[in-house]
A and B are shown apart, each in its own frame.
Chain A
């Protein structure tokens, strides 16, 4: 008999929002069930309930006909449910093997941890997934992508029956994604019940068997992936058609003066990186995770020190000492890691948006809170941030809505930006809003702002940027124009061997 997960009448409210409203879910073993919906539709909330992380207000669920009543993460684990979140749930200072076997470390006869067996068992699992990770490496030293692999291996090790993924590919590059898909394929063959949350259409069609759509916390459709079209899915999620994302863009056609020239830039991670761009130009950076794109962005923004080379901005050589200098010169960096580098989670949307422009909100040394709130309202409107109020703490927003807050911050009207660096700006953003963000990027370009667009989603980079640079191991390995770049040509450059 196939395994089955059945969720009925699930409801959950937060102050001012009903995150889930009488939701029904049926997912079968040996199939990948996608969970789709706009930002704030309730997907992560559903997974958190499944993980025993938060309690539902109403509703029940059962696995293989057996009613489940657990209310804690431990209960979820023993019921055979593993949830792999957007944020890693690992202990960064412990090793890979200790993380994978956390809660079930092998012991020897004396009751002490049997490290040699631990290492052997971990190596076996790593080998099964065809990865190259040292079991003894501390998890904190791994890239985000590898940390996620560790987490998946942990779920695998627990022999969970239900494995749920919350936007697993958001921080991965193509190569890693294919490893992930290979692994999901294996889980599917093993008859597991797999729930898969993602905003990326291509993945849905590539890996899933069923799709369940949520809208405003309610069921908004259930489909067989093979029998549904992208348009139908979007209509179910957004409630309207959005047309062709890229073809319909109103692009900038006039480039201005030279804006930024980077010559032989060297840092700990970058080797002699050179490129230049003009006002109103959108340049894209593609590459695998760890190729050095984020490091490049941070170096230009003076978030990290540089060792050599030259940056010429607005016609003059510059050497910023801190991000503050860079901001004053008109550079904005919308960082990739919204939790660590971007947001002050315990504070409101308003306060998060106004930080870089606080000095512009002063009048006789006092903050004009009404002005400040206007900025926040503006961002909420521009990016369709789903929230009952601008006073809501950012930690209470859904992942995609948090991302929108960061975008709203760096593109607010007081910023006076000349160069906008967007590092993975559409991470976790739903399809409808993505299309709007693409248009906004083009609008910035039309206003003469130079945009550096870093993304691991290949289709996005090659369709938005005027010029695409491909990076690998801290070096630029190729430059393509929008017309000539294809996924294949970019990937080839991203993986090109040295020499």
Chain B
């Protein structure tokens, strides 16, 4: 039996439209303002991509597995607070980071507990958890945030070749590793299966609860690491940080073709979604659009991009059918 034909391979590359869109967006803002592709601007795009990117990696995997974590931004923020508090208490940097990671793991376990054991929808559970972490963080930091200083800052402020920020590199490494895990490991495959059909997955020997737990813990840990990087970049762990983190990450993932219904998507699309979203947001700043309109434009981008994808898919179906007909006639 043959591998898929070139035709279907191209059709499968759903993210083609998005790549083109990202390129168009970048080109457009470059024409509008040459500064858009200056070193500084690229750096700030990459910086912006790194936090939402970390969160998007975790969220994409959750979405593929049919779950969601609306507390992911709050988990990142709280991870940052834990790390900063540990540093402030005089702990060494690695210990502080591990403390944040542990918090992320526990946060994931808590989500998984409610979803697996009490059968509450993750959507509901994580709305609640988000509020709890935010409230706790304000309480614990007296609503002021915890400043960090010293060598720890290097994590967030250094850049490779003076242009690629360290957090971006960390994010890119995660993205690539998870791309492999999703594609080439049994646990990766299991995530798709439980997202696609949980009952069938169970009957084929996948343990849906175990996989769900893994993806939640994984997400918590990634979010916490994201929070640590953000804290290092901002010099402060601020309870108000990453408030829209979950929504931005979900937007990027879904834009990149990760299915909200579960079972489909991947890291490649997730990356392009991120790039498109962040290039666009930065571009709006580059052309000095008033802040409020930036919000409007962001929302419009998301909706337009998804609609375009929809029409494209429809057109593609028709085209393929026509081509198939031609082929058959021969």
- Please give the residue numbers on chain A whose beta carbons come within 8 Å of chain B beta carbons, in ascending order: 11, 13-18, 21, 57, 301, 303, 322-324, 327-328, 333, 335, 340-347, 351, 354-356, 358-359, 361-362, 365-367, 369, 373, 376-377, 380-381, 388-391, 409
In the complex, number of A-B residue pairs with CB atoms less than 8 Å apart: 112
Interface hit among B19-27, B31-39, B188-196, B291-299: B188-196
Residue among B3, B4, B192 making CB contact with A351, cutoff 8 Å: B192
- Between-chain CB contacts (< 8 Å), 19 pairs: A13-B325, A13-B328, A15-B11, A15-B321, A57-B321, A301-B203, A324-B206, A327-B204, A340-B200, A344-B196, A347-B192, A347-B263, A355-B204, A358-B189, A367-B183, A367-B184, A367-B189, A369-B184, A376-B1
Query: B1, B4, B328: which has the most chain A beta carbons within 10 Å?
Result: B1
B202 and A345 within 8 A (CB): no
A367 and B185 within 8 A (CB): yes
**B170: interface (CB < 8 Å):** no
CA–CA, A133 to B273, complex, Å?
Answer: 51
Question: Taking the nearest CB of chain B, how far is it from the CB of A408, in angstroms?
Answer: 12
Question: Taking the nearest CB of chain B, how far is it from the CB of A419, in angstroms?
Answer: 15
Interface 0/1 of B132-162, CB less than 8 Å to A = 0000000000000000000000000000000
Closest to B2 in A: A389
CA–CA, A376 to B4, complex, Å?
Answer: 13
CA–CA, A322 to B4, complex, Å?
Answer: 36
B200 and A389 within 8 A (CB): no
**B86: interface (CB < 8 Å):** no
Interfacial chain B residues near A366, Cβ < 8 Å: 180, 184-185
Closest to B8 in A: A15
Interface 0/1 of B166-187, CB less than 8 Å to A = 0000000000000010011110
Closest to B329 in A: A18
Residue among A323, A327, A355, A373 making CB contact with B193, cutoff 8 Å: A355
Closest to B202 in A: A323
Interfacial chain B residues near A356, Cβ < 8 Å: 204-205
Interfacial chain A residues near B119, Cβ < 8 Å: none
Interfacial chain A residues near B288, Cβ < 8 Å: none
Question: Taking the nearest CB of chain B, how far is it from the CB of A425, in angstroms?
Answer: 15
Closest to B317 in A: A15
B199 and A341 within 8 A (CB): yes
Q: Known: A15-B320, A365-B185. Is A391-B203 also a contact (CB below 8 A)?
A: no
Interfacial chain A residues near B183, Cβ < 8 Å: 367
A344 and B207 within 8 A (CB): no
A345 and B186 within 8 A (CB): no
5 interchain residue pairs of minimum CB distance: A344-B196, A358-B186, A355-B204, A391-B4, A13-B324
**B201: interface (CB < 8 Å):** yes
Interfacial chain A residues near B193, Cβ < 8 Å: 344, 347, 351, 355
Further contacts, 14 of them, CB under 8 A, given A322-B202, A345-B196, A388-B5: A15-B320, A15-B321, A15-B324, A18-B328, A303-B202, A323-B205, A341-B199, A343-B197, A344-B196, A346-B263, A347-B196, A381-B1, A389-B4, A391-B4
**B264: interface (CB < 8 Å):** yes
Q: Known: A18-B325, A346-B196. Is A355-B207 also a contact (CB below 8 A)?
A: no
CA–CA, A355 to B187, complex, Å?
Answer: 11
CA–CA, A381 to B184, complex, Å?
Answer: 25
A390 and B189 within 8 A (CB): no
Interfacial chain A residues near B184, Cβ < 8 Å: 366-367, 369
Interfacial chain A residues near B189, Cβ < 8 Å: 351, 354-355, 358, 367
Query: B2, B199, B204, B320: which has the most chain A beta carbons within 10 Å?
Result: B204
Question: Taking the nearest CB of chain A, how far is it from the CB of B96, in angstroms?
Answer: 31
Interface residues of B in 189-238 (CB under 8 A from A): 189-190, 192-193, 196-197, 199-207
Question: Taking the nearest CB of chain A, how far is it from the CB of B261, in angstroms?
Answer: 9
Interfacial chain A residues near B190, Cβ < 8 Å: 358
A342 and B325 within 8 A (CB): no
